[in-house]
């Protein structure tokens, strides 16, 4: 599990630790870790041209101390400050003593650029003087961000204006949520965590990794039959949208439940494609309600919600949901809106949800007493009782295609039926779905059926990589 902590939490842990350590010890730990990553990237440190972009705070200090370490190993290190009047004094002294130099402009060539402009003390998009240095980064030079890419909001991943695009981000003490959530996540490149000895409470956000997902994926036991493995009911589709039913069933058939039961007017379309589907009402261990239902189906949605089993509500099923009804349910409810549907549930605009995805998903879960999965470039999952928000690390922009959400809801419902808690079912489904989307896309547009077709491959890959380290990986770790 990759866990992430808010700036406030990191600062508190840092204060607590600093009080017990000699002055500057934490910065030295940070700089040592940063220099080690830089040296690894350079391969040969001696003679390498390293450029440090240095902001006025401790983030710049980290860069300067790391630069000093590289200079002592023979690198040619040039520090370019945003403001020559405001540079971390100790760091600058160390760099100059090690043979590094200070310059007023970014050199035209570099083997490595270190972004020490701003870290967790940064607010808003990069200011013009800092942004001007970023623009001068020599083309093709690899960029290592110190703690986080400058311009990315550490707590939310929001990017207001200019921000650094890093190839590697070396972060200290703990991951910050903004490194895992887009648009920030797409600026970080490969993430490296340097342990500086902070003791931390419960995280604010967390991201499943292959090994976590492998442990959660249901596996049939020797004595399993289809009913013990769970039956998932799918209430979806309409005369107008029969395809949504087919796609939700496609996802559900590949989610580990022993059987899929379809209820609705698209039975012919479903059977034509998946003859193994059970048709009509009967006992289920979880429901998927909503994809392609169209209008006027509230009574059927209410009936499913009255069944005392976990229910996933998606798409048209989300219209007019009553928080009181969900709160009174004896089993878990999982809501899977995209930003527009979440906005309707929260009585706000789509833009407001997109701008503040983390707080939106938390509010949604708390207000409706349900687990909430907010779809998007980084899908988020929140539990109604709070706790860390799960951030999906496998998403890809190619997943934003018609019907993709129907496959996801079928898959998540199937995982619910096989006994996973709603938070796990939702986050595992998002993870496997994202991976399948990446496999299916392989850099080209895809359609939703392909995502469903690639689910078994993604699933196997997760199992194998977790067990033998031999899977093809491919997700950004």
Residue 210 contacts residue 466 (beta carbons within 8 Å): yes
C-beta closer to ligand NPW: residue 59 or 363: 59
Residue 173 contact, options K ion, ligand NPW, none, Cβ 5-8 Å cut-off depending on partner type: ligand NPW
Given K ion, ligand NPW, none, residue 287, with its beta carbon under 5 to 8 Å by kind, binds: none
Q: Give 292-335 as a DSSP string.
A: T--SS-HHHHHHHHHSSS-EEE-GGGGTT--HHHHHH-SS-EEE
**Minimum distance from CB of 107 to ligand NPW (Å)?**
21
Q: Does 150 bind K ion (CB under 5 A)?
A: yes
Judged by beta carbon distances under 5 to 8 A according to partner kind, the member of K ion, ligand NPW, none in contact with residue 115 is K ion
Tell me if 125 is assigned to a ligand binding site.
yes
Figure out which of the listed residues 146, 260, 374, 432 binds K ion, where binding follows CB under 5 A: 146
End-to-end Cα spacing for the chain: 11
Establish whether 406 is an annotated binding residue. Answer: yes
State yes or no: 451 annotated in a binding site: no
Find out whether 47 is annotated in a ligand binding site: no
Residue 120 interacting partner from ligand NPW, K ion, none (CB closer than 5 to 8 Å by kind): ligand NPW
Nearer to ligand NPW by C-beta: 163 or 208? 163
Q: Is 171 in the site for K ion (CB under 5 A)?
A: no
Spatial distance between the Cα atoms of 290 and 230, rounded to a whole number of angstroms: 20
| Residue 93 to residue 84: CA distance in whole angstroms | 13
Give how far Cα 429 sits from Cα of 336, 406, 460, Å. 11, 12, 14
CB under 5 A: which stretch of 107-115, 220-228, 366-374, 462-470 binds K ion?
107-115
Does the annotation list 120 as a binding residue? yes
By CB under 5 A, tell whether 115 contacts K ion.
Answer: yes
CA angle, 178 then 475 then 477, to 5°: 50
Tell me the closest approach of the beta carbon of residue 14 to ligand NPW, in angstroms.
3
Pairing of strands 311-313, 286-289: parallel
Positions touching ligand NPW (CB under 6 A) are 10, 14, 26-27, 30, 55-60, 62, 118-124, 126-127, 130, 146-147, 172-173, 196
Buried b (16+ CB within 10 A) or exposed e, 80-90: bbbeeeebbee
238 labelled ligand-binding: no
Q: Say if strands 286-289 and 231-235 run parallel, antiparallel, or are unpaired.
A: parallel
CB atoms within 10 A of CB 129: 12
Instruction: Indicate which of K ion, ligand NPW, none lies near residue 10 (CB less than 5 to 8 Å, by partner kind).
Output: ligand NPW
- Contact call for residue 377 and K ion (CB under 5 A): no
Q: How many CB atoms lie within 10 A of CB 18?
A: 15
Which residues does the annotation place in the binding site?
58-62, 115, 119-125, 147, 150, 244, 292, 338, 375-379, 405-406
Interface contacts to K ion, rule CB under 5 A? 115, 145-146, 150
């Amino acid at each position: 599990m990759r866990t992430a902590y808010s700036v406030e939490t990191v600062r508190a842990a840092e204060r607590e630790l600093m009080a017990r350590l000699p002055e500057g010890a934490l910065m030295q730990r940070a700089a040592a870790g940063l220099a080690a990553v830089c040296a690894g990237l350079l391969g040969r440190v001696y003679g390498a041209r390293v450029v440090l972009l240095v902001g006025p705070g401790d983030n710049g200090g980290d860069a300067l101390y790391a630069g000093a370490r590289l200079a002592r190993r023979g690198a040619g290190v040039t520090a370019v400050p945003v403001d020559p009047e405001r540079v971390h004094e100790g760091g600058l002294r160390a760099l100059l003593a090690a043979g590094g130099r200070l310059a007023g402009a970014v050199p035209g060539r570099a083997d490595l650029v270190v972004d020490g402009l701003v870290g967790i003390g940064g607010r808003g998009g990069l200011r013009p003087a800092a942004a001007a240095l970023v623009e001068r980064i020599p083309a093709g030079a690899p960029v290592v961000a110190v703690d986080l890419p400058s311009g990315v909001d550490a707590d939310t991943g929001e990017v207001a204006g200019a921000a650094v695009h890093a190839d590697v981000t070396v972060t200290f003490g703990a991951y910050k949520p903004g490194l895992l959530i887009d648009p920030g996540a797409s600026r970080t490149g490969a993430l490296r965590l340097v342990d500086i000895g902070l003791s931390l409470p419960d995280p604010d956000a967390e991201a499943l990794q292959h090994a976590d997902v492998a442990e959660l994926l249901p596996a049939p036991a020797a004595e399993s039959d289809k009913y013990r493995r769970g039956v998932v009911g799918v209430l979806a589709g309409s005369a107008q949208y029969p395809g949504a039913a087919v796609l939700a069933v496609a996802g559900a058939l590949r989610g580990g439940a022993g059987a899929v039961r379809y209820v609705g007017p698209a039975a012919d379309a479903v059977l034509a494609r998946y003859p193994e589907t059970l048709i009509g009402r009967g006992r289920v261990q979880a429901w998927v309600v909503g994809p392609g239902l169209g209008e006027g189906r509230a009574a059927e949605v209410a009936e499913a919600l009255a069944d005392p089993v976990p229910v996933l509500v998606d798409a048209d099923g989300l219209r007019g949901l009553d928080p009181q009804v969900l709160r009174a349910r004896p089993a878990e409810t999982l809501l899977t809106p995209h930003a527009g549907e979440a906005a309707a549930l929260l009585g706000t605009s789509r833009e407001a949800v997109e701008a503040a995805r983390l707080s939106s998903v938390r509010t949604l879960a708390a207000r409706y007493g349900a687990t909430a999965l907010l779809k998007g470039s980084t899908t988020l999952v929140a539990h109604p009782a709070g706790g860390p928000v799960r951030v999906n690390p496998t998403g890809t922009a190619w997943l934003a295609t018609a019907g993709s959400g129907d496959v996801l809801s079928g898959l998540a419902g199937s995982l619910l039926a096989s006994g996973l808690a709603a938070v796990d079912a939702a986050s595992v489904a998002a993870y496997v779905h994202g991976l399948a989307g990446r496999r299916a896309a392989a850099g080209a547009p895809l359609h939703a059926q392909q995502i469903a077709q690639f689910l078994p491959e993604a699933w196997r890959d997760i199992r194998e990589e977790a067990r033998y380290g031999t899977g093809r990986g491919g997700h950004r770790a």
